Amino acid sequence: MANSLIIVESPAKVKTIKKFLGKTYTVDATMGHLIDMPKSSLGVDVDNDYDPKYITIRGKGELLSKLKKEAKKADKIYLATDPDREGEAISWHLKNELDKDAANRDKISRITFNEITKNAVKNAIKSPRDIDMDLVNAQQARRVIDRLVGYTISPLLWKKIRKGLSAGRVQSVALRMICDREADIAAFTPEEYWSLDANLLYGKKKLKAAFYGKDKKMPLSNEAEVDDIINHIGEGEFTVTDVKNSERRKKAPLPFTTSTMQQEAAKSLGFATSKTMKLAQTLYEDGYITYLRTDSTRISVEADAAAKIYISDKYGEDYVNGGSQDARKPQEKEVKIQDAHEAIRPTDLDLTPEEAKAKLQRDEARLYTLVYKRFLASRMTAAVYDTESIRLDSKGYTFTLSGSKLRFDGFLSVYMSEEDKEDKDISLPDIKVDEKLKLTNFDKEQHFTQPPAHYTEASLVKALEEDGIGRPSTYAPTIGTLLARRYITKEKRNIFVTELGQAVDDMMQKNFPTIVDTAFTANMESLLDTVANGDINWKTIVENFYPDLSEAVEKAQLEVEKITIRDEETDIECDKCGRKMVIKYGPHGKFLACPGFPDCRNTKPYVEYAGFVCPDCGAECVKRRSKKGRIFYSCSRYPDCNYMTWNKPKEPVTGEKKDGEIMA
């Protein structure tokens, strides 16, 4: 009996795929990359055509040997790593290793599937192919260029600023964007303006009309202008001069791409991008959603047809997408994207969000619900509003009333984004031209223009995507690296640059302006796409890039002066020498250290309060990390009190912080 070996990336996929196949199939996982460039050296021969040096990743030798033994027993070998550039590269490296045994060479094939379902896996096995070397070379180009940037600039940061820092091709541009936004906020000068509303009565109905102007829109820049208008109108009547009724159609949203899923999960669920990707990875590997790394909004013909049948049966034929009037068309930038995968969607519409709650962890179910409803909504009709716009005149000044009423909910019956929720349903009475409304009083209010908003993870992802920086797979790790390096910090979802991050960005902008240039980085992404399309040799891109980088690094080594970054000082005194202790960062997070090091080596734990009290003794609980990095909460009186929990209770804080401790 023939025996087939299927090799995927993660153990979770192994478990899912085994359910679909018979005993003649063995399924195993690579656990990610098996082969890569060494961590201890550059790994790129810059003097010999930029050949990368590949080695078996430390700790993966035993697994590779195991896969080779399984391959030897198999009649057919299917390399089924993820359907993207990284997955293609993993399969290529694995094939090269398996090909060392000549008996394997004719039985190795590459297969891909966009969703882990029985039909998708079986259809993939029926359509094997060769390794796509264009995709592999695009991955090699990206990996080599990223390695050249990171391994040549990072040591300079260690020498000139602080050890443990890093630079990256996408990471450095993202940091520059954040620093530029912070600079815009700091440089912003608010300007005064005023609003004026007339409170009117139409019978017993109270209405609020907004000041418009005279012949054209008239801004109000100070209170004197507002008072002049109020005094001129006095107690005058407001006469209706124009009434316009129309229809507004709000088109259904496109299904999720990686970035739009990250943005909406951040807005509506409060998830960090890293959390969203982790949850989506689990949902994909367990067979609940399609592949999670995609910038395409395309949906397969089969999935589209199934969705429309489902919508018709459950909501009625009127809710089925009727074509161009109902569906939002991709914008120009969305048309130019890679279209290797479908958008993110559920694999089975029969698994409703309600049923998923019983099968999934809470946050997995919440993300699944978001994906499910967004996909279903994308196949539904537009929402239709009746809108009304009314103009009123009072002694030569124009005021306006506007209202809208939802006539047909369409896709809103299933899915409402945060923006949709802000679209208020405001109905106006049936007012006719020449009718008069009575003025009760005016409301005037002073305002000031606001600076640009701080980036959040959601808005940063959106900005990176719009500027063509990075790819779906890079957004979450890029933000994660910036946080891990303490270049940025987050407060109530807002991102702020730290003094360290500002210093790194200043050095990068002065010495490596090309690396942090958004247009250059976006063009590099386009060039990598041309490699993936087979239009250009990957080494051509590298050889055009590296000489300028090398020259800039050499120049910076000589010209850049050392920068001193001060540690954040606290009010806590060192109990050994009396100095004010400072916050330091170690492998397990923050801790307190004496600034007198090495003369004084005193350190203390950094107490981060959890926001609730111990149910056993009433003392405040603190946030801690296990040896494996998992967050848990325990009593601050440990070991005298042994209370500990993995989950944060929803109890109010009734304890008080003690003198000499830090409330994080």
Catalytic residue positions, numbered? 291
For the chain, what is the radius of gyration of the CA atoms?
30
Measured CA to CA, the distance from residue 551 to residue 555 in angstroms comes to 6
- Write the burial class of residue 363 (CB in 10 Å: 0-12 exposed, 13-18 middle, 19+ buried): middle
Measured CA to CA, the distance from residue 297 to residue 310 in angstroms comes to 20
Q: Which of 376, 380, 310 lies closest to 344 in space, CA to CA?
A: 376
Cβ–Cβ < 8 Å for 201, 207: yes
Measured CA to CA, the distance from residue 86 to residue 388 in angstroms comes to 53
Which residue is associated with the tokens 């009117």? 200
- Identity at 649, one-letter amino acid code: P
Sign of the Cα torsion 410, 416, 417, 421 reads positive
Which residue is associated with the tokens 């807002």? 494
- Beta strand spans in 380-450 (E): 383-394, 397-408, 436-448
Could you please report the per-residue DSSP string of 63-125? HHHHHHHHHHH-SEEEE---SSHHHHHHHHHHHHHHTTSGGGTTSEEE---SS-SHHHHHHHH
Which residue is associated with the tokens 């002694």? 395
Dihedral, 20, 24, 28, 33 alpha carbons, nearest 10: -100
Measured CA to CA, the distance from residue 198 to residue 525 in angstroms comes to 53
Q: Could you tell me if residue 590 is left (phi over 0), alpha (psi between -120 and 50 degrees) or otherwise beta?
A: beta
Cβ–Cβ < 8 Å for 456, 255: no
Q: Give, in order, the Cα–Cα distances in Å from 427 to each of 163, 248, 249, 481.
A: 62, 14, 17, 49
- Identity at 403, one-letter amino acid code: G
